[in-house]
């Protein structure tokens, strides 16, 4: 497209020797393409093409049923992680400590009984009144109850001392991770409701209601800004006299009075061949792309209208 405009500009400039201080171009607006982040079905198109919109206007709604489920799952994970961290911070309850003490007392009583059984079995074995197998069974029972007592005591000690700092840090990290996941799922959910990021004109809706869009494809095209800007090509001899924020007169076809506009950007490199590869005569035909912003009063002008931009005379600066 730019190649075609460039060729047209060169041809017109060559044909209009009486207007050598003129740059030709067209009216344009910033084109913003709002894209889909997932493959989903369009369930609502609340704004018609060609409507004026403001930032935040809902342009397209995609089906969010599946993503709502993902958000609910992430919320449940956060609730679980929060409860676990709170449990570790609070430590053991009185009832849990009392139960652990009871387990210690029960294990101690069991050990006392098994120790007595083992002593009786030893005396009977010495007097040859019982077998070696019976003695071994009582010994094994005593050792088992001894291990149970040690385990019960250790469990009681852990409850009394409270949660270790490392366990608290692990629980906090798990909670932070679940919160991050929830934030990401909420962002995905919000992306299914596509809103305008700038004021402008809704130029196109490439997909129809009920269609399943593909991820990354544009679903709404917005021409941003109130008034358009003139995209024009500045001839090389005039480039040094045109700077950002300069005021230039823009002539629009169909409007008698020129519009005082502001240069908002101008390229530092020529459109095509580099200047150092050309002689002086060839360099004079180089073009530098520029954008000249029209005032808000020109908001009603459409895109694509041909314009002519008056350039400052070379001798004037």
The pLDDT tens digits of the residues spanning 231-273 come to 999 988 899 999 999 999 999 988 999 999 999 999 998 876 5
pLDDT at 144 over 60: yes
Compute the average pLDDT of residues 153-178. 81
Q: In the chain, where do the E strands start and end?
A: 22-35, 42-44, 52-53, 58-62, 193-195, 200-204, 218-235, 247-252, 259-266, 287-293, 306-310
Which residues on adjacent β-strands are paired with residue 46? none
The pLDDT tens digits of the residues spanning 167-220 come to 888 999 999 999 999 999 999 999 999 999 999 999 999 999 999 999 999 999
Whether residue 230 contacts residue 261, with contact meaning beta carbons closer than 8 Å, is answered with yes
- Report the C-alpha gap between 24 and 235 in whole angstroms: 10
* pLDDT tens sequence across 10-50: 444 444 443 468 899 999 999 999 999 999 999 999 999 99
Closest CA to 31 of 266, 198, 191, 244: 198
What pLDDT, on the 0 to 100 scale, is given for residue 276?
45
pLDDT at residue 38 in the model: 95
The model's pTM: 0.66
pLDDT tens digits, one per residue of 65-121: 999 999 999 999 999 999 999 888 777 677 776 787 888 888 888 888 898 988 988
Beta strands in 196-305 (DSSP E): 200-204, 218-235, 247-252, 259-266, 287-293
Instruction: Give residue 281's pLDDT.
Output: 55
Residue indicated by tokens 């599946």: 66
Residues 6 or more apart whose CB falls under 8 angstroms from that of 306 comprise 24, 25, 26, 253
Q: Cα(236)–Cα(286) distance, rounded to whole angstroms?
A: 5
Question: What is the pLDDT at residue 162?
Answer: 63
**Is the pLDDT confidence value at 279 over 60?**
no
Element (H, E) at 154: helix 132-161
Domains of the chain (ranges; CATH) run 2-63+200-316 (2.40.30.170), 68-182 (1.10.287.470)
Give the tokens for residue 111.
């050990």
Distance CA 260, CA 254 (A): 16
């Amino acid at each position: 497209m730019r190649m075609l405009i460039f060729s047209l500009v060169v041809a017109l400039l060559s044909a209009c020797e009486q207007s050598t201080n003129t740059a030709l171009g067209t009216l344009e607006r910033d084109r913003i393409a709002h894209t889909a982040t997932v493959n989903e079905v369009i369930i609502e198109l609340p704004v018609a093409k060609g409507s004026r919109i403001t930032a935040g206007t809902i342009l397209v709604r995609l089906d969010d049923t599946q993503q709502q489920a993902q958000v609910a799952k992430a919320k449940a994970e956060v609730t679980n992680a929060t409860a676990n961290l709170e449990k570790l911070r609070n430590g053991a309850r009185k009832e849990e400590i009392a139960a652990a003490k009871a387990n210690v007392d029960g294990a101690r009583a069991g050990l006392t009984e098994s120790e007595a059984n083992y002593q009786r079995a030893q005396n009977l074995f010495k007097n040859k009144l019982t077998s070696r197998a019976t003695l071994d069974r009582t010994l094994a029972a005593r050792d088992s109850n001894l291990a149970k007592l040690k385990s019960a005591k250790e469990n009681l000690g852990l409850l009394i001392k409270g949660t270790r700092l490392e366990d608290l840090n692990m629980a906090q990290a798990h909670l932070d991770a679940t919160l991050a996941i929830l934030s990401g799922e909420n962002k995905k959910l919000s992306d299914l409701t596509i809103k305008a990021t700038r004021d402008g004109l809704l130029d196109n809706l490439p997909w129809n209601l009920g269609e399943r869009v593909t991820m990354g494809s544009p679903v709404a095209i917005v021409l941003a800004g109130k008034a358009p800007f003139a995209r024009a090509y500045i001839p090389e001899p005039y480039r040094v006299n045109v700077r950002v924020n300069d005021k230039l007169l823009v002539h629009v076809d169909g409007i008698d009075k020129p519009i005082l506009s502001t240069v908002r950007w101008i390229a530092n490199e020529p459109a095509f061949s580099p200047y150092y590869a050309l002689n002086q005569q060839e360099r004079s035909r180089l073009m530098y792309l520029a954008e000249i912003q029209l005032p808000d009063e020109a908001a009603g002008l459409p895109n694509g209208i041909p314009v002519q931009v008056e350039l400052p005379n070379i001798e004037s600066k």
